[in-house]
A = this chain, B = another copy of it.
Amino acid sequence: MLDELKEEVYLANLELPKHGLIKYTWGNVSGLDSNKELFVIKPSGVNYDSLKPSDMIVVDLNGKIIEGSLNPSSDTPTHAVLYRKLSEVRGIVHTHSPWATVWAQAGQDVHAMGTTHADTFYGTVPCTRLLTQAEINKSYEEETGNVIVDTFIDRNINPNEITGVLVHSHGPFTWGKSASSAVMNAVVLEEVCKMNLYTKMLNANSIDLPKNLLDKHFLRKHGSNAYYGQGTHNI
Contact = CB atoms under 8 A, between A and B. Distances in A.
Contacts of A216: 136, 140
B229 A71 contact: yes
Contact of A71 (B74, B114, B207, B230): B230
A113 B102 CA distance: 9
A45 interface: yes
A209 interface: yes
A207 B168 CA distance: 11
Interface in A35-69: 43-46
Contact of A114 (B114, B169, B200, B210): B169
9 contacts: A71-B227, A71-B229, A96-B116, A102-B198, A105-B195, A113-B169, A140-B216, A197-B202, A200-B202
Interface of A: 19, 23-26, 43-46, 70-71, 74, 96, 98-99, 101-108, 113-116, 119, 130-131, 133, 136, 140, 169-171, 184, 187-188, 191, 194-203, 206-207, 209-210, 212-213, 216, 220, 227-230
